[in-house]
Amino acid sequence: MELIEKYRKIFHRLDLPFDSGVFEKLDAYTKLLNKWNAHINLTASSDWSMIEPLMAEGIWASKIYPEEARNHLDIGSGAGFPAIPLRIMVSRMKLDMVDSRLKRVTFLETVIRDLHLSESYAFHGRIAQRLEGIDKKWDCISWKGLKIKTQDLFEIKKHAHAKTQIWVFHGRQPAAEEPEMLEKHFRLLRRETFLYKSDWNLSVYLPE
């Protein structure tokens, strides 16, 4: 099956209209991922069975992206899942990605350049370094699977305004070093279960 048909299948399953312009960017991203995977192991495998749910996650999440959100901070971006597919789907997004591994950041910078993702950036370092000495506030802040340190949670809260949505992609338990601190300082707005994995969730919080 050609890649375009594989993406059509994803969009159909998620009840989203298929857009050829969006597909072109997803196609380019998929090809870059496969090329780089041969050298730096961005994902465990380049097989479509592994890549499909990773791509679908960001596409799925775009369905509930807040209409008023523009500035987005993604922590521990890795190979760009779900941030890059989400950015492709939400073209108005201004995306800041943070990752501690230089090779991954170099890959993300290549994706940004080759896909012409305007106002998108990749920062090499840890989240504490990215937030140090700045007063910027984001409209949406996300992370996937990371056990965010409690100290970093406090810093993240400083960079959120009253309507900032905190997006946490996680398994059975919200991804934080101390989940109870996440629940204490942020109010759960909604929790969605990923169609492709019954044990995978997106929890959306607001600052308490």
Q: Which two tokens stand for residue 180?
A: 């109870």
140/1: higher pLDDT: 140
Per-residue pLDDT reduced to its tens digit, 135-173: 999 999 999 988 999 999 999 999 999 999 999 999 988
Which residues, 6+ apart, have CB-to-CB distance to 121 below 8 Å? 95, 96, 97, 112
3-state SS, residue 77: coil
Q: Compute the radius of gyration of the chain from its Cα atoms.
A: 16
Least confident of 33-37, 41-45, 56-60, 129-133: 41-45
**What pLDDT does residue 70 have?**
98
pTM: 0.96
Q: How far is CA 50 from CA 44, 46, 152, in A?
A: 8, 7, 31
| 3-class secondary structure, 47 | coil
Distance of alpha carbon 5 from alpha carbon 1, whole angstroms: 6
Residue 196 confidence (pLDDT) above 80 = yes
Band of the pLDDT at 1, cuts 50, 70, 90? confident
- Calpha distance 169→153 (Å, rounded): 15
Tell me which residue of 125, 111, 116 sits closest to 42, measured CA to CA.
111
Query: Which pLDDT does position 48 carry in this prediction?
Result: 95
Selected residue with higher pLDDT from 15 and 175: 15
Task: State the DSSP H helix or E strand holding residue 28, giving kind and residue range, or none if neither.
Answer: helix 20-40
Contact 89, 58 (CB under 8 A): yes
Q: 81 to each of 52, 179, 181, 197, how far by Cα in Å?
A: 11, 22, 25, 15
Residue ranges per structural domain of the chain: 53-207
Instruction: Please state which CATH class domain 53-207 belongs to.
Output: alpha beta
